[in-house]
Amino acid sequence: MAGVALKFLFASIVMWVAPILILHGFNHHLFPGASGLSSSTMTLVSGFLAVISVNLVIALYIIMAMWEPRDPQHQPDPTFLAAAKASISQPLPSGSSREDAREKAD
C-alpha cells in the first residue's frame, strides 16, 4: 500500500514540476533554438510541450499501475477475524435473543 502511495506522490509531483520547468526553460531561453522563435511561437511550443509532458506522466503512471502485482484473492485481517469469531461465540444474556441484541446495537 505504501508503494502505491509513493508512486502516486511521485507522479503528482512530476506532473506539476515538468510543465513549469518546460515553460520556464522556454521563457528564459534555456533550450537550444528557443531564442530564434517569435514570442507567440515560443508560447505555443512551450504550451504544447507542457501539455504533452503531463500526458506522458499520466500514461507512465497508468503503465506502472498495470504492472502492480495482483493478489489472487483478498485476505482479511487475521486479528479482525479472530475478534469477529469471538464475538459470535459469546453467549447471550439469559432472556434475550439474537434479534434483541441486533435492535440494541442499532
Interval 67-87: pLDDT, tens: 887 766 777 788 988 888 888
Please say if the pLDDT value at position 61 is more than 80.
Answer: yes
Q: State residue 36's pLDDT score.
A: 82
Whole-structure pTM over 0.85, yes or no?
A: no
Kindly report the average pLDDT of the chain as a whole number.
Answer: 82
pLDDT, mean of residues 30-41: 82
Give the three cell numbers for residue 44.
505555443
The dihedral region occupied by 41, where left means phi > 0, alpha psi between -120 and 50, and beta the remainder, is: alpha
3-state secondary structure of 72: coil
Domain regions of the chain by residue span: 2-66
Please say if the pLDDT value at position 98 is more than 60.
Answer: no
3-state secondary structure of 70: coil
- The answer to whether residues 48 and 54 touch, using CB atoms and an 8 Å cutoff, is no
